[in-house]
Amino acid sequence: MKKTIIPAALLFGAVTMVSVAALADTCSTGCNIQTKKPSAKKGEFDYTLSCIKDSSGDELIAKVTAATDAAAKALGIKQC
């Protein structure tokens, strides 16, 4: 019985650690627009965004194309 419980507990602990690390690697503070230029696509803009990763504090530069500032920021967060 003990032979089954110990590996199961170790597996559960490993899965929990990976899940927490994956959730922590986000940009919950949002992204700031650095540049906004008209895009080749009609009615849209090319954005350069600066996002900060929560887990490391590293800056991520995201380049997206969107119709609005809010949509661009949402796309930037997804790239984080």
Residue 32 contacts by C-beta under 8 Å, 6 or more apart in sequence?
Answer: 49, 50, 51
How far apart CA 70 and CA 26 sit, in angstroms, is 18
What's the average model confidence in pLDDT over 63-75? 96
Q: Torsion angle, CA of 70/31/35/43, rounded to 10 degrees?
A: -20
- Per-residue CA distances from 18 to 6, 10, 70, 71 (Å): 19, 12, 31, 30
pLDDT in tens, 22-48: 555 788 888 999 999 999 999 999 999
Q: What percent of the chain has pLDDT over 70?
A: 70
Q: What percent of the chain has pLDDT over 90?
A: 56
**Angle 32-25-66 (CA atoms, 0-180°, nearest 5)?**
35
Q: Looking at this protein, which amino acid is placed at residue 49?
A: L
Work out the pLDDT band at 18, boundaries 50, 70, 90: very low
pLDDT, averaged across the chain: 82
